[in-house]
Amino acid sequence: MQIFGVDIGGTGIKGAPVDLERGELAQERHKVPTPQPATPEGVAGCVAEVVDAFSWQGPVGVTFPGVVTGGVIRTAANMDKGWVGVDAAALLSARLDGRAVTVLNDADAAGVAEITYGAGRGVAGTVALLTLGTGIGSALFRDGRLVPNTELGHLELKGHDAETRASVKAKEDGDLTWERWAHRLEKYLAHVEMLFSPDLFILGGGVSRKPEKFLPLITGIRAPIVPAELQNNAGIVGAAMAARDREGR
């Protein structure tokens, strides 16, 4: 079974049809830059461009980097503030000529994909997936069940949003070495561990493709830390899963 997934990020919007039997992209993904400013209309046009690149006509799942309830955007820390209060599912469906659209938090989508097909498969207890990119997204699971919209990237760390110190963007903006960035990430993981005592950390986002650069530098965390197996495709896969589940209902 194939369903289309789109992952909206702070710097790029990417999507592809997903083979949900295998939990893999059925075709090479298509990616376009996120418009700046990332307004609802601008982003909707880019989502349509990604979907239309495959001439896709079926249902579509879409992730968004913020709190999403019932398809409505509640927060937009790394997107244009015009998103807040927008019914994204309705907006994107209209832009896609009435195709059914399901919208969910981006890290929740990545987490569901990793729990089903990847590094969290079969893991009991509490699992925390953290996506490291423009910000820090989070997905928290207890015995495989998602606690949605946790947004742990906005925990306070040294008087600041954690994502402003430990995201990949923070590394790039500050021109931090892997060692300095890993130290910041370690402090953040220790804070999350103190609050939630997870049995496993899964680190996702594009940086999960090169875990050898930073994971060996992180010490003092009790829980095992592993890279996301689906790497930066996890959000696309999770978005497709959400659209499939909505169709099933």
The DSSP string of the chain is: -EEEEEEE-SSEEEEEEEETTTTEESS--EEEEPPSS--HHHHHHHHHHHHHTTT--S-EEEEESS-EETTEE---TTS-GGGTT-BHHHHHHHHTTT--EEEEEHHHHHHHHHHHHSTTTT--SEEEEEEESSSEEEEEEETTEEE----GGGSEETTEETHHHHSHHHHHHTT--HHHHHHHHHHHHHHHHHHH--SEEEEESGGGG-GGGTGGG--S-SS-EEE-TTGGGHHHHHHHHHHHHHHH-
Neighbour count for residue 47 (Cβ, 10 Å)? 23
Residue 246 banded pLDDT, cuts 50, 70, 90? confident
Does 99 have pLDDT greater than 80?
yes
pTM strictly above 0.85:
yes
1-16 pLDDT tens trace: 999 999 999 999 999 9
Report the pLDDT value the prediction gives residue 91, as an integer from 0 to 100: 98
| Range 87-100 average pLDDT | 98
Average pLDDT across the chain, whole number: 96
User: Is 108 or 249 the better-scoring residue by pLDDT?
Assistant: 108
Does 249 have pLDDT greater than 70?
no
154-213 pLDDT tens trace: 999 889 999 999 999 999 999 999 999 999 999 999 999 999 999 999 999 989 999 999
Report the pLDDT value the prediction gives residue 247, as an integer from 0 to 100: 77
Helical packing angle, 234-248 and 106-117, nearest 10°: 90
